[in-house]
Amino acid sequence: TERIMLDESEDRLLIGSQSLLAKYTLSEDVWIYVVMKLYAVALVCCISMSDAWKWAIAFSLGMALLVGVGQPYMRPQVSQLQSFGCVCLATASLAFAYDFPWLARVGLLAPLLLLLWQVRFPDSTEALAERLYQELE
């Protein structure tokens, strides 16, 4: 598989990028790294627009859908947290636009609550399989 090829590679480029490639389910899922950077730039660029909240909602929901459906990260908890965080950002943007400060606070606090819930069960089946594979070597 790709993980074995990465571990056994002697190419300096692959060795240097191993930490980046190990975060994703497949090496071809590195595109999400670029998309996340473009998403951050798009959010910053839309701030100066008069209807910025609409763009923020559109970008956030699009990114949530992309990460939620694609599940590009090696650990499913990261994909869930990333997708949920984007949905909460869209909710907070909508709450700020319609002057619901309590909903904005809940939207900004909800990813932290999900993270605290995920800390209770830090090991996924994928991570367990990866750790067992490394122990067998």
| Tens digits of residue pLDDT in 3-41 | 666 666 666 666 666 666 666 666 567 788 888 889 999
Token look-up 């480029």 returns: 13
d(CA 70, CA 115): 20
d(CA 81, CA 69): 13
CA distance readout (Å), 114 to 6, 82, 107, 137: 32, 11, 11, 34
Mean pLDDT of 105-131: 85
Distance between start and end Cα atoms, the chain:
15
pLDDT of residue 64: 96
Instruction: Provide the whole-model pTM.
Output: 0.75
